[in-house]
Structures are given as structure tokens and as C-alpha cells.
């Protein structure tokens, strides 16, 4: 009888620093399409908001304005009956408190883009549907995750934080370390063959009970 044991190692979740950063234009008003292009050229994309906490954080960074107190954000739709969708990743998140009172009202039948209010009042941080052709300042985000941020892992970012979710067999804050399993001990009535194995991911050891009983003190 022969069988193989694959060393299975768990995933790691490690905290790092620095998530995406927010950026806005204060110099040039643009229609929504131009605003998104500006974000994609200068940064990663138009801002994506995925929780009330992120909305609050973003709003805390934006100046209180009296003139033109609004910015384009990255949520839109193309037809009246479609759901609002974040352009960054197709998420449809909208919070209970996201819209300003009596919004979205689709006032001009073609209000398929969204602005966030930054006036100093109760509407601050609320959203309103608007005509995409209107000209406003954009808010963008710059992603901090890159293809090389997380070695053998997936990079996930949130506010002020990058997290590397490591593939099995790797650990460390950037998934840079190969996990080494503890040594197996030889069974009493068989032998263990780990030759060539370095006890890391995808290594194989064999327990063997067939054939003549081998020497007990195998090297390693
Ligand atoms: C804007 O005004 C609100 C309400 O007065 C205040 O709480 C907030 O700190 C101000 N934000 C900035 C960035 O000045
Ligand atoms: C949108 O939905 C309304 C009400 O459900 C329906 O009457 C209308 O035909 C729909 N329009 C389109 C373009 O699907
Ligand atoms: C969003 O969905 C559209 C249509 O299904 C697709 O073409 C696009 O690649 C998706 N974008 C992302 C970022 O997943
Ligand atoms: C969409 O992207 C945001 C920001 O990158 C992220 O927080 C959120 O989890 C994503 N949502 C989905 C459904 O992928
Ligand atoms: C935005 O502006 C560009 C350049 O002026 C124009 O080609 C485009 O049609 C405009 N888009 C909307 C939705 O108004």
C-alpha cells in the first residue's frame, strides 16, 4: 500500500499600509465623460464609493464650497430603467443615506450621471442625479495596488490600507515568504520518503508499508 501526502498550507491575511488616494480637479469643469477621461489620464479612474464610511471619508477631504458645490463621481447608467452602476468595477452599491432628499428625480428624463454635494450644509456628502453634459469638477482615485504589490498573492485596497491575500503556501505582509511545513516523523511500521522534498508548497512525502522493512535511520 502506498499513498502520498500533499502538504496543504493555509491562506494568510496580512495588513499593510497605504490604500488608494483621492484627487480632484479645482481648475477645469468638464462634462461627465471628459471628467472620467481626465481621471483615467491623471490617476486610476473616477472615484468609486462602496460604503457610507468611504463616502464620509471622501467628503471629509473635499473643501466646503459655496460656488459650484459639487463634483462628478463614478456612478452612472445608460438608460432610464437600468440600475446605477459604478464604472470602476460594475458594483451597484447605494446606501440608505446616499441620495439627497427627493433624489434621484430624473428631472430632465436624461439625468444619468451623479454628482456629490460639497456645500456646507445638510446636503453635504449627498448625491444628486444630473445631466451628463453639464460641466463640473471631477473626483478621482489613485490605486496603490500594482501587479507587484503582493508577490504570491492578491492585492486588496481600502482607505489608507493595502492588504495582501496570499496564495496557499506563502506568507508575509507581501506574500514574499515560502511557508515551510514541520518535519514528519517516520512511522513505527513503515518508512517515510521525503527525498527531494523541501517541505514547501506542492512537496510530496510518501509513507510506505510494502516490501522489506528499510533501515530506520534514513538521512533526513
Ligand atoms: C465643511 O463644513 C462642515 C459643516 O460646517 C464641517 O463639519 C467640515 O469640517 C467642513 N469641512 C472642511 C473640509 O472644511
Ligand atoms: C421602463 O420601465 C417602465 C415601467 O416598468 C416601462 O413601462 C418602460 O417600457 C421601460 N422602458 C424601457 C426602455 O425598457
Ligand atoms: C462591467 O460589465 C461590462 C458589461 O457586462 C463589461 O463589459 C465590463 O468589462 C465590466 N467591467 C468590469 C471592471 O468588470
Ligand atoms: C468595487 O471597487 C471598490 C473600490 O475599489 C471596492 O471597495 C469594492 O469592494 C468593489 N466592489 C465589487 C463588487 O467588486
Ligand atoms: C462631453 O464633451 C465632449 C467634448 O466637448 C463631447 O464630445 C461630448 O459629446 C460631451 N458629452 C456629453 C455627454 O455631453
The CATH number for 85's domain is 3.10.100.10
- Look at residue 2 in the predicted model and tell me its pLDDT: 36
The predicted structure's pLDDT at residue 165: 94
Whether ligand 3 lies within 6 angstroms of the CB of 78 is answered as no
Domain boundary among 142, 157, 173: 142
The per-residue pLDDT for 11 is 27
Closest alpha carbon to 150 in 171, 169, 167, 174: 174
Ligand 2 is surrounded, with C-beta below 6 A, by 79, 81
Say yes or no: 49 and 74 in one domain: yes
Whole domain around residue 24: which residue ranges?
Answer: 20-142
Ligand nearest to the CA of 57: 1
**Closest ligand to residue 48's CA:** 4
Is any ligand 3 atom within 6 A of the Cβ of residue 92? no
Same domain, 32 and 136: yes
* Domain contains 214: no
State pTM to two decimals. Answer: 0.72
Q: From the alpha carbon of 79, which atom of ligand 2 is closest? A: 13
Q: Which atom of ligand 5 is nearest to the CA of 133?
A: 14
Residues 169 and 113 both lie in one domain:
no
Q: In this structure, are 131 and 29 located in the same domain?
A: yes
Place of cell 492588504: 163
Domain final residue pick, 92, 127, 142 = 142
| Phi, psi dihedral angles at 191 (to 5 degrees) | -135, 165
User: Does the residue 213 lie in any domain?
Assistant: no
In sequence order, the 6+-apart residues with CB closer than 8 A to the CB of 53 are 159
Ligand number with the minimum distance to the CA of 82: 2
* Ligand 2 centroid to residue 95 C-alpha, Å: 24
Verify that 40 and 137 share a domain, yes or no.
yes
Domain total of the chain: 2
In this prediction, residue 4 carries a pLDDT of 33
Is 217 a domain residue?
no
User: Which parts of the chain register pLDDT below 50?
Assistant: 1-17
Among residues 96, 119, 142, the one where a domain terminates is 142
Does the residue 195 lie in any domain? yes
Q: Which of 21, 55, 88, 89 to mutate to test the pocket of ligand 4 (most atoms within 8 A of CB)?
A: 89
Amino acid at each position: 500500500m502506498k499513498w502520498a501526502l500533499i502538504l496543504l498550507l493555509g491562506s494568510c491575511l496580512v495588513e499593510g499600509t497605504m490604500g488608494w488616494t483621492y484627487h480632484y480637479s479645482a481648475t477645469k469643469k468638464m462634462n461627465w465623460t471628459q471628467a472620467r477621461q481626465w481621471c483615467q489620464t491623471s490617476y486610476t479612474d473616477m472615484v468609486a464609493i462602496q460604503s457610507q464610511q468611504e463616502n464620509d471619508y471622501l467628503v471629509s477631504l473635499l473643501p466646503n464650497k459655496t460656488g459650484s458645490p459639487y463634483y462628478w463621481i463614478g456612478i452612472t447608467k445608460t438608460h432610464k430603467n437600468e440600475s446605477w452602476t459604478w464604472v470602476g468595477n460594475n458594483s451597484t452599491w447605494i446606501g440608505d443615506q446616499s441620495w439627497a432628499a427627493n433624489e434621484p428625480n430624473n428631472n430632465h428624463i436624461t439625468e444619468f450621471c451623479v454628482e456629490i454635494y460639497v456645500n456646507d450644509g445638510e446636503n453635504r456628502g449627498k448625491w444628486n442625479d444630473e445631466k451628463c453634459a453639464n460641466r463640473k469638477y471631477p473626483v478621482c482615485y489613485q490605486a496603490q495596488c500594482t501587479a507587484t504589490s503582493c508577490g504570491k498573492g492578491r492585492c486588496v485596497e481600502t482607505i489608507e490600507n493595502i492588504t495582501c491575500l496570499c496564495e496557499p503556501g506563502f506568507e508575509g505582509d507581501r506574500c514574499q515568504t515560502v511557508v515551510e511545513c514541520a518535519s514528519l516523523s517516520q512511522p513505527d511500521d513503515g518508512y517515510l520518503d521525503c527525498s527531494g522534498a523541501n517541505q514547501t508548497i506542492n512537496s510530496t512525502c510518501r509513507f510506505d508499508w510494502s516490501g522489506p522493512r528499510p533501515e530506520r535511520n534514513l538521512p533526513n
